[in-house]
Amino acid sequence: MMTRTLILALSLTVATAPAAAQTEGATAAVSTAGLDLTRAADRERLDTRVKSTARRLCRSGLRGTAENARQSACVAAALANAAPQAERAIAQAQGGTQLALLMVEAAR
């Protein structure tokens, strides 16, 4: 089977309180290099990469209960927005198209 490589933009867009406006619209790439998304273990690795990137983009460096709640909401929203696109990347891989990278964006 021939494998094609494409680039997919995976946007994790989050609308939360502007407590950390300095990172508004932050974007990061999530590489799928070395992953075979037809394998369960590699799909788990992609999930870990996306979660790690969402946490990093939602982190503000501030502390406190309210900030922890905001960061949790930010990550949850980012992951919810990313889920359909990640599922599409997996479906494309199962159809013979391997994606090169995913883009993660957090807008606060």
Cβ contacts of residue 12 below 8 Å, gap of 6+? 50, 53, 54, 57, 78, 79, 81, 82, 104, 105, 106
DSSP 99: E
Please give the biggest Cα pair distance in the chain. Answer: 52
Residues 27-62: pLDDT tens digits? Answer: 777 877 788 999 999 999 999 999 999 999 899 889
Res 48: pLDDT: 95
Res 98: pLDDT: 62
Residues 90-107: pLDDT tens digits? Answer: 888 888 776 656 666 675
Q: Which two tokens stand for residue 3?
A: 């494998």
